[in-house]
Amino acid sequence: MDVSNTIGAMEVFIHHIQEYSKGLRALVLYTTKASNRDAIEKRLKREMIDYYIQKVNGTKINVFFGNSICVAVIKQMNITSLSNLTDEEDFILGTMLGYDRVKQCEWYLRRKRNGRNDNNNAGKTNNINININININTSIAQLQTETISATG
pLDDT of 44-59, one tens digit each?
999 999 999 999 999 9
Is the pLDDT at 81 greater than 60, yes or no?
yes
- Which region, left, alpha or beta, applies to residue 65 given φ > 0 means left and ψ of -120 to 50 means alpha? beta
pLDDT for residue 5: 59
Are the CB atoms for 92 and 56 separated by under 8 Å? Answer: no
Tell me which of 16-20, 99-103, 115-119 is least confident: 115-119
DSSP 34-68: GGGHHHHHHHHHHTT-EEEEEE-SSSEEEEEEE-H
Structure letter (DSSP) for residue 116? P
Phi, psi for residue 47 in degrees, rounded to 5 = -80, -5
The beta-strand segments (E) located in the chain are 27-33, 50-55, 60-66
What does pTM read for this prediction?
A: 0.70
Q: Is the pLDDT of residue 88 over 60?
A: yes
Tell me what pLDDT residue 23 has.
94
Separation of alpha carbons 34 and 40, rounded Å: 10
Lowest-pLDDT range of 8-22, 113-127, 137-151: 137-151
Least confident span in 83-87, 108-112, 136-140: 136-140
Say yes or no to pLDDT of 106 above 70: yes
